[in-house]
């Protein structure tokens, strides 16, 4: 039993620290590595490199140490890869099993595409036999599921809520908005009194900040029937949500000439930099906000829905941990996967990086310890949403279909009806290509 020298970096930012995984061999859903299941040797792991990776490395090191202590003749080689090069690296790994890792961290919107490409192993039986899996958040579980089969374990979840400037609200005698209509009214009230600020920073290229408006109005991105998806952005409820979001662009709040091209990161930077009174940002945005001039002068509440007392459905982002189909260490890989993504590791990950656990009981526990995460936990509990679980989503996302739709409306090039119809047509074409 030895620890690889390359493990000079465990991982506190993506999950992991020491969880007791069962030592018995799990049931096998499908073969890997040509049917081999070696019980010794080196396991290779690829994890995403964070901006500040040291806390993540410490968590990962601890998890790996606990794992190797249970397995003689086993070492672990952990490498941290840039997220922006993951597509090329994963394609190469799928095509060259000899150099591929056993375990890999991946974005939860990548699941369906990786399954289509034949890269991820089906671990449905192992997941079902794992005691801790019963407490996995349903939306997080959905992010590792394709056609009813499970292809990984959720590592952490990220969700967005409404940040607002307490000093500005106190100065103007405002209260946190209780409906989406009040979000716009409050934003315009701020802009009228403080023209140096955006009332609410919004971005024409901020898909996951816009989707809650669509979902809150009863709309959908797409609908699934018998395994086939059909775009729903051009349905009346979805169009109402698109209208509600795009109405936030203009001189009365966030001028289109300045905000149409803004991304989610841009809106967070505007808020953190003191240029906006409100922003829709994630639990993962806290560090950026804390490092800016608005530190100690902001608070967070769930983004409200269309009716007072409701919470707008948020997109459930996050990362997963999966095993490659080519792995020749299935039993060991599943054991290490459970170690890295189990409850104790997710507690460590939250403490080190602030990433929200995917287990509902652990999430409630950390919310009691850290009041900041309470509005995000409430948002998740109210029912977060996920994108269509189809390989087509990667094409839709890369093609900027939704940002283009929002920007066309904001710029005045198209009205909501025309823009949503064109977006739906582009999505349906992507769905057809993925199904062929």
**Is residue 3 very low, low, confident or very high in pLDDT (cuts 50, 70, 90)?**
very low
**Is residue 435 very low, low, confident or very high in pLDDT (cuts 50, 70, 90)?**
confident
Using the predicted structure, report yes or no on whether residue 423 has a pLDDT greater than 90: yes
- b/e for 293-331, b at 16 or more Cβ within 10 A? ebeeebebbbbbbbeeebbbbbbbbbbbbbbbbbbbbbb
> Could you please report the per-residue DSSP string of 230-268?
EE-TTSHHHHHHHHHHHTTBSTTSB-HHHHTT-BHHHHH
For residue range 61-72, list pLDDT tens digits in order: 999 999 999 999
pLDDT on residue 16: 30
Count Cα neighbours of 143 within 13 Å in the Cβ-side half-sphere: 29
Mean pLDDT across the chain, nearest whole number?
A: 90
pLDDT on residue 48: 93
pLDDT on residue 33: 53
SS3 408: helix
Q: What pTM does this model have?
A: 0.83
Using the predicted structure, report yes or no on whether residue 247 has a pLDDT greater than 80: yes
For residue range 314-353, list pLDDT tens digits in order: 999 999 999 999 999 999 999 999 999 999 999 999 998 8
For residue range 185-204, list pLDDT tens digits in order: 999 999 999 999 999 999 99
Beta-sheet pairing, 145-146 with 160-165: unpaired
Lowest-pLDDT range, 91-95, 372-376, 413-417? 91-95
The mean per-residue pLDDT over the stretch 420-431 comes to 98
Residue 169 CB partners (closer than 8 Å, separation 6+): 175, 176, 277
The mean per-residue pLDDT over the stretch 77-84 comes to 90
Residue 73 CB partners (closer than 8 Å, separation 6+): 1, 39, 40, 41
Reference 353, options 104, 106, 10, 66; nearest CA is 10
Comparison of pLDDT for 342 and 6, the residue scoring more: 342
Residue 29 CB partners (closer than 8 Å, separation 6+): 121, 122, 123, 124, 125, 126, 149
What is the C-alpha to C-alpha distance for residues 256 and 402, in angstroms, rounded to an integer? 17
User: How large a percentage of the chain has pLDDT more than 70?
Assistant: 92
User: How far is C-alpha 284 from the chain's CA centre?
Assistant: 10
> Could you please report the per-residue DSSP string of 90-118?
HHHHHH-GGG--SEEEEEGGGHHHHHHTT
SS3 156: strand
Using the predicted structure, report yes or no on whether residue 26 has a pLDDT greater than 70: no
């Amino acid at each position: 039993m030895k620890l690889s020298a390359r493990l000079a970096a465990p991982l506190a930012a993506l999950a992991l620290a020491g969880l007791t995984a069962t030592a018995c061999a799990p049931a096998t859903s499908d073969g890997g590595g040509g049917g081999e299941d070696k019980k010794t040797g080196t396991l290779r792991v690829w994890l995403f490199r964070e901006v500040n990776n040291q806390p993540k490395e410490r968590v990962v090191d601890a998890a790996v140490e606990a794992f190797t202590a249970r397995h003689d003749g086993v070492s672990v080689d952990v490498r941290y890869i840039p997220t922006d090069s993951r597509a090329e690296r994963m394609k190469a790994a799928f095509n060259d099993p000899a150099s591929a890792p056993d375990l890999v961290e991946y974005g939860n919107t990548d699941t369906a595409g990786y399954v289509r490409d034949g890269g991820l192993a089906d671990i449905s039986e192992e997941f079902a036999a794992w005691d801790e899996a019963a407490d996995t958040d349903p939306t997080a579980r959905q992010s590792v599921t394709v056609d009813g089969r499970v292809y990984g374990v959720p590592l952490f979840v990220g969700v967005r809520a409404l940040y607002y400037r307490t000093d500005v609200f106190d100065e103007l005698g405002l209260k946190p908005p209780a409906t989406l209509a009040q979000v716009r009214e409050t934003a315009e009230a701020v802009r009228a009194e403080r023209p140096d600020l955006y009332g609410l920073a919004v971005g024409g290229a901020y898909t996951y900040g816009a989707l809650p408006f669509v979902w809150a109005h009863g709309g959908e991105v797409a609908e699934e029937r018998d395994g086939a998806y059909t775009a729903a952005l051009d349905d009346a409820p979805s169009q109402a949500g698109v209208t509600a979001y795009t109405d936030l662009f203009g001189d009365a709040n966030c001028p289109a000439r300045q905000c149409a091209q803004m991304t989610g990161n841009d809106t967070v930077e505007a808020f953190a930099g003191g240029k906006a009174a409100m922003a829709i940002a994630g639990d993962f945005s806290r560090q950026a906000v804390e490092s800016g001039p608005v530190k100690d002068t902001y608070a967070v509440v769930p983004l409200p829905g269309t009716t007072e007392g409701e919470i707008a459905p948020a997109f459930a982002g996050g990362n997963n941990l999966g095993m490659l189909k080519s792995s020749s260490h299935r039993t060991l890989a599943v054991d290490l996967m459970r170690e890295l993504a189990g409850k104790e590791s997710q507690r460590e990950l939250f403490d080190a990086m602030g990433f929200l656990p995917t287990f509902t009981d652990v999430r409630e526990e950390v919310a009691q310890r850290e009041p900041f995460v309470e509005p995000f936990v409430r948002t998740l509990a109210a029912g977060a949403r996920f994108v269509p679980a189809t390989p087509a989503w990667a094409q839709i996302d890369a093609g900027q279909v939704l940002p283009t739709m929002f920007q066309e409306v904001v710029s005045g090039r198209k009205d909501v009806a025309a823009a949503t119809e064109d977006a739906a047509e582009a999505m349906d074409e992507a769905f057809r290509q993925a199904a062929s």
